[in-house]
Amino acid sequence: MPSGHITDWNPDRGFGFVESDGHRIFLHQRDFAKRHKIPEVGDHLQFELGKDKQDRPCAKKAVHVNDGGRFTSEAIFLLAFLLGAPICALVKLSSVISPAYLAVYALAISTSTYFTYAWDKNRARKKGQREPEQVLHLLEFLGGWPGAFIAQRHLRHKCSKVNYQIVFWLIIAVHQSVAVDYLRNWSVALRVMHAFKQFLS
């Protein structure tokens, strides 16, 4: 399928133009195959070439490419599964630390991570200065990975970069491992420490 970027878009009249291989192609909002975001200048699209009633070239069955998505039921189930152990760990930890504090922190760090993704996505569209990936990973590591999980799928941001995804899922794996080990009274951590002491001795 041909691809290109929206160079002009009139939101009031619902149409604009796509630049593809040096050609300026008309696009109407009714000619989107899927509508899950408001078209904007700079959006990357794939489409089929067609002709309008005046026999002029136009874009048909247009879809956004990595530029806005939907949070599917599969993603919801996966997120619920991944949150299982951490939530149980937080419930156990609430006997030591205020439940209100834990809830506020968890919500705040995930919300901050989501909006940092959104800001970075907006800067990418405008070709502005980007947020360093280390900052995004730090927010994920500090507990904002659920917000990052939602942002990647809802905003279609950082979800197709393999190296980024490897680090992202390693961070999730660390959180899962720590949560499960805490629920088991640090059985794995204690065995590792015992083995390390024996090695030193």
Q: Are residues 161 and 94 located together in one domain of the fold?
A: yes
**75 close to 153: Cβ distance less than 8 angstroms:** yes
User: Do residues 95 and 138 both lie within one domain?
Assistant: yes
Residue 98 sits at φ, ψ, to 5 deg, of: -55, 125
Which of 18, 47, 64 is the last residue before a domain boundary?
Answer: 64
Token pair of 147 as six digits: 């917000």
Q: Are residues 81 and 150 in the same domain?
A: yes
CATH code for the domain in which residue 47 is found: 2.40.50.140
Q: Between 145-154 and 162-183, two packed helices, what is the crossing angle to 10 degrees?
A: 140
* Contacts (Cβ under 8 Å, ≥6 apart) of 129: 123
Between CA 24 and CA 86 the distance in angstroms is 51
Q: State whether 60 and 93 are in the same domain.
A: no
Structural domains in the chain (count): 2
What token pair was written down for 179?
């949560």
Are residues 11 and 60 both part of a single domain?
yes
pLDDT for res 77 = 96
Average pLDDT over residues 67-88: 87
Among the candidates 43, 64, 85, a domain finishes at 64
CA-nearest of 5, 3, 10, 16 to 43 is: 5
**116-139 per-position pLDDT tens digit:** 999 998 887 676 788 899 999 999
pLDDT tens digit string along 131-169? 899 999 999 999 999 999 999 988 878 877 889 999 999
- pLDDT at 78 exceeding the cut of 80: yes
- Contact between residue 75 and residue 43 where contact means Cβ atoms under 8 Å apart: no
181 and 88, same domain (yes or no): yes
- What is the torsional sign of CA 29, 32, 34, 40? negative
- Residue 68 predicted with pLDDT over 70: no
Residues 59 and 77 in one domain: no
Judged against a pLDDT cut of 90, whether residue 42 lies above it is answered with no
Give start and end residues of each alpha helix (H) in 15-161.
73-93, 99-125, 133-139, 145-154
Asked which of 19, 35, 64 is the last residue of a domain, the reply is 64
Q: Which residues contact 91 (CB under 8 A, 6 or more apart)?
A: none
- State the pLDDT at residue 36: 64
Domain extent at residue 22: 3-64
